[in-house]
């Protein structure tokens, strides 16, 4: 049995049950990247440790990013179902422990464990789709997973606020338990995957080294100059560790059979520049999003729920710009303008955020949030497209995961670095504003840093000073991020705008919105994109184009029916197409002597077989044209096979029948 036929095994009911469980798992992992932000001010007030606020986010990001390559390859080698169940269990254990955490160090450690499981949920759920559905439908079904990321971007801040206001911040984590248990039960009962283990020479050393280097640098960025002096033995030791780890990583990757990040990719200018820009976009995006809820709740006294509502202009701006830029690129083939313009708009958005204060109105805040989101959204889609267009087919999968990996690391750095800026500036402002001011019993700079909830009970003259300090401390975060984004703007100008291959003009939301790296093989990435592009123009246009390319004067419905009876020996009675459409197409085929009907069975004639072959060849040629220079004489065999399979499936499947 071939891989493609094996994927057709599940019944429709079992398929949707399995997909629902996968969507639930991915929903939980994606939600935990956004739901925590609006709960952070309350968590800090309850557990203390404002200077460690950033690590609640950073720990999750680092763990989910570092584990991504291992989850993907271990799933190939030992079975994705078992690994997916393992990821759910790890994620649920981490969620339960986060809910019972009694201090910030505990919460940070448990968030790291939760992130390990969350990274596996995202990687494996998208990979399992390729096991369950044939290539022609992968784009459509994986589009559902992309929609999940868009939904969690909107729902996360709102749900986080609702739980804090009406239950407890601990329910931000407890909510995962019943939903995850349902997903685990459904996966165990109905998910049956074809057993096709693929051996890998897993780059454990490279994975460990890149995680160690990133972790050491993030710790330095987070604690250097605050908890530890810059010339302390801790900072110097971590810097030496990071430098040695980087040298060792380069040596390991040069020798690895399947490197985590092939160093040869950095010889491609577009890849290197896009990775640098992606790092900065992740830096600004998550650095900004983490501290905006604190600004709304502490400075403006907005409830956690309403703070989530106030963030919607930013989320909608991000999603609108991300989707719109992808569509414009698909229609025009021009893409360089978006990273250039997007980084400039992001810098403007950060400047507008810096100018907000305790007196800013809802309209000013909403417009500033929207501009920031629009700028980020214009860059997200393009970086993936540009990298995919710049590399050879064999590097398509690893290059895509590479650029999203740098975005993830940038997000972790952004939260950590800007967290240090926030706590340093806030402590300085509070100390300056309250110097010589008599404070109520039990109130001090340290108490105001550890518990923002106490601000509301302060006398008016003191409360105003404290709120101003918080406002300036948070908005300084955005000011410090501007030079970094300006650097990304400068890096966008040298990008070379090569004409886009047709096959890279179908970006996936799951590659652009979330911070986690995407992990697909080159073949799976290509199958997803081709299946989207092949049906994007509509089924009627699809078959009309096939007929023109094959020089056949047939209606779209007749083309569909001829290919279907050629492929499946189908009869009109066994299709779900409207009766009048089937009757008209049958009459046209019989009139052209392309098919005969004996005892209710429609069968292609010899001439019908020849015409069907030409139609199928035309479909394969259309798909091959989308691949551009990848479709050369030395193309890989798996790419030839993929085009053949997609050509056959898209040529006559029930799912792709034209409407009347």
Residues 6+ apart with CB under 8 A from 362: 310
Q: Are residues 277 and 353 in the same domain?
A: yes
Number of folded domains in the chain? Answer: 3
Q: Using CA of residue 269, residue 219, residue 411, residue 524, what is the dihedral sign?
A: positive
Q: Is residue 462 part of a domain?
A: yes
If DSSP codes are grouped into helix, strand and coil, which group holds residue 595? strand
Please report, for the domain that includes residue 140, its CATH number.
Answer: 1.20.1250.20
Q: Of the residues 429, 464, 499, which one is the last residue of a structural domain?
A: 499
Q: Is residue 506 part of a domain?
A: no
Q: Is residue 3 part of a domain?
A: no
Please report, for the domain that includes residue 562, its CATH number.
Answer: 1.10.10.10
Cα dihedral 22, 23, 27, 29, rounded to 10, equals 20
Cα dihedral 424, 427, 429, 433, rounded to 10, equals -170
For residue 494, the tally of other CB atoms under 10 A from its CB is: 9
Q: Are residues 357 and 438 in the same domain?
A: yes
- Separation of alpha carbons 624 and 621, rounded Å: 5
Q: Are the C-beta atoms of 527 and 643 separated by less than 8 Å? A: no
Q: Are residues 617 and 562 in the same domain?
A: yes
126-162 pLDDT, tens digit each: 778 777 777 666 666 766 776 777 777 777 778 888 8
Q: Are residues 48 and 138 in the same domain?
A: yes
The pair of structure tokens assigned to 194 is: 């074809």
Range of the domain at 77: 11-193
Q: Is residue 453 part of a domain?
A: yes
Q: Is residue 597 part of a domain?
A: yes
Q: Are the C-beta atoms of 401 and 347 separated by less than 8 Å? A: no
Q: Are residues 346 and 433 in the same domain?
A: yes
Q: Are residues 457 and 553 in the same domain?
A: no
Q: Of the residues 147, 178, 193, which one is the last residue of a structural domain?
A: 193
What contacts 24+ positions apart, CB below 8 Å, involve 219-223? Answer: 219/416, 221/413, 221/416, 221/417, 221/420, 222/54, 222/55, 222/58, 222/416, 222/417, 222/419, 222/420, 223/420
Q: Is residue 282 part of a domain?
A: yes
If DSSP codes are grouped into helix, strand and coil, which group holds residue 298? helix
Q: Are residues 366 and 442 in the same domain?
A: yes
- Separation of alpha carbons 43 and 56, rounded Å: 10
User: What are the two backbone dihedrals, phi and then psi, of residue 335, each rounded to the nearest 5 degrees?
Assistant: -135, -20
- Whole-model pTM? 0.82
> Tell me, what DSSP letter sits at residue 37?
G
Q: Are residues 460 and 603 in the same domain?
A: no
For residue 204, the tally of other CB atoms under 10 A from its CB is: 14
Q: Is residue 430 part of a domain?
A: yes
Q: Of the residues 462, 484, 499, which one is the last residue of a structural domain?
A: 499
Q: Are residues 476 and 552 in the same domain?
A: no
Low-confidence ranges of the chain (pLDDT < 50): 1-9, 569-574, 653-660
Q: Are residues 426 and 567 in the same domain?
A: no
- Which pLDDT value is given to residue 408? 83
> Tell me, what DSSP letter sits at residue 500?
P
- Separation of alpha carbons 62 and 416, rounded Å: 11
From the list 112, 121, 67, the residue with the least C-alpha distance to 94 is 112
Q: Is residue 218 part of a domain?
A: no
- Separation of alpha carbons 317 and 374, rounded Å: 5
Q: Are residues 492 and 526 in the same domain?
A: no
Q: Are residues 441 and 580 in the same domain?
A: no
């Amino acid at each position: 049995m071939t891989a493609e036929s094996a994927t057709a095994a599940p019944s429709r009911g079992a398929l949707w049950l399995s997909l629902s469980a996968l969507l639930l798992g991915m929903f939980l992992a994606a939600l935990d990247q956004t739901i925590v932000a609006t709960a952070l001010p309350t968590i800090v007030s309850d557990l203390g440790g404002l200077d460690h606020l950033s690590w609640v986010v950073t720990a999750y990001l680092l763990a989910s990013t570092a584990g991504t390559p291992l989850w993907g390859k271990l799933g190939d080698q030992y079975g994705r179902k078992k690994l997916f169940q393992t990821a759910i269990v790890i994620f649920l254990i981490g969620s339960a422990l986060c809910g019972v955490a009694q201090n910030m160090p505990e919460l940070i450690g448990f968030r790291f464990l939760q992130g390990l499981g969350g990274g596996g949920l995202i990687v494996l759920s998208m990979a399992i789709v390729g096991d369950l559905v044939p290539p022609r439908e992968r784009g459509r079904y994986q589009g559902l997973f992309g929609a999940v990321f868009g939904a969690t971007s909107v729902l996360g801040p709102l749900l986080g606020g609702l739980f804090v206001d009406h239950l407890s911040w601990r329910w931000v984590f407890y909510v995962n338990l019943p939903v995850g248990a349902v997903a685990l039960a459904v996966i165990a009962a109905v998910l049956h995957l074809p057993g096709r283990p693929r051996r890998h020479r897993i780059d454990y050393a490279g994975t460990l080294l890149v995680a160690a280097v990133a972790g050491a640098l993030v710790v330095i960025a987070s604690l250097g100059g605050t908890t530890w002096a810059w010339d302390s033995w801790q900072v110097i030791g971590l810097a030496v560790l990071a430098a040695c780890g980087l040298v060792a990583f380069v040596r390991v990757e040069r020798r690895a059979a399947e490197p985590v990040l092939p160093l040869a990719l950095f010889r491609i200018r577009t890849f290197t520049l896009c990775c640098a820009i992606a790092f900065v976009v992740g830096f600004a995006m998550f650095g900004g999003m983490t501290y905006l809820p604190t600004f709304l709740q502490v400075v403006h006294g907005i409830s956690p729920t309403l703070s989530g509502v106030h963030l919607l202009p930013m989320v909608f701006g991000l999603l609108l710009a991300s989707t719109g830029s992808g569509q414009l690129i698909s229609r025009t083939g021009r893409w360089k303008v978006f990273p250039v313009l997007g980084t400039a708009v992001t810098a403007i958005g950060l400047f507008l955020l810096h100018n907000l204060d305790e007196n800013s109105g809802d309209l000013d805040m909403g417009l500033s949030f929207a501009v920031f989101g629009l700028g980020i959204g214009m860059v997200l889609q393009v970086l993936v497209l540009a990298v995919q267009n710049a590399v050879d087919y064999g590097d398509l999968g690893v290059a895509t995961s590479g650029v999203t990996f740098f975005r993830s690391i940038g997000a972790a750095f952004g939260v950590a670095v800007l967290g240090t800026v926030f706590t340093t500036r806030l402590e300085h402002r509070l100390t300056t504003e309250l110097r010589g001011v008599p404070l109520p019993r039990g109130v001090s700079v340290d108490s105001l840093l550890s518990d923002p909830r106490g601000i509301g009970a302060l006398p008016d003259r003191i409360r105003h000073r404290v709120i101003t300090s918080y406002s300036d401390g948070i908005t300084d975060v955005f000011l410090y991020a501007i030079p970094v984004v300006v650097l990304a703007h400068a890096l966008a100008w040298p990008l070379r705008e090569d004409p886009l291959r047709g096959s890279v003009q179908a970006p996936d939301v799951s590659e652009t919105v979330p911070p986690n790296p995407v992990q697909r093989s080159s073949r799976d990435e290509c199958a997803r994109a081709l299946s989207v592009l092949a049906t994007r123009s509509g089924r009627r246009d699809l078959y009309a184009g096939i007929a023109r390319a094959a020089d056949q004067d047939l209606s779209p419905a007749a083309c569909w029916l001829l290919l279907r009876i050629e492929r499946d020996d189908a009869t009109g009675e066994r299709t779900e197409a409207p009766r009048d459409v089937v009757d008209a197409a049958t009459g046209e085929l019989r009139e052209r002597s392309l098919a005969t009907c004996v005892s209710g069975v429609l069968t292609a004639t010899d001439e019908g077989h020849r015409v069907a072959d030409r139609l199928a060849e035309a479909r394969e040629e259309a798909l091959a044209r989308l691949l551009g220079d990848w479709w050369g004489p030395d193309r890989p065999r798996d790419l030839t096979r993929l085009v053949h399979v997609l050509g056959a499936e898209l040529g006559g499947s029930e799912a792709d029948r034209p409407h009347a």
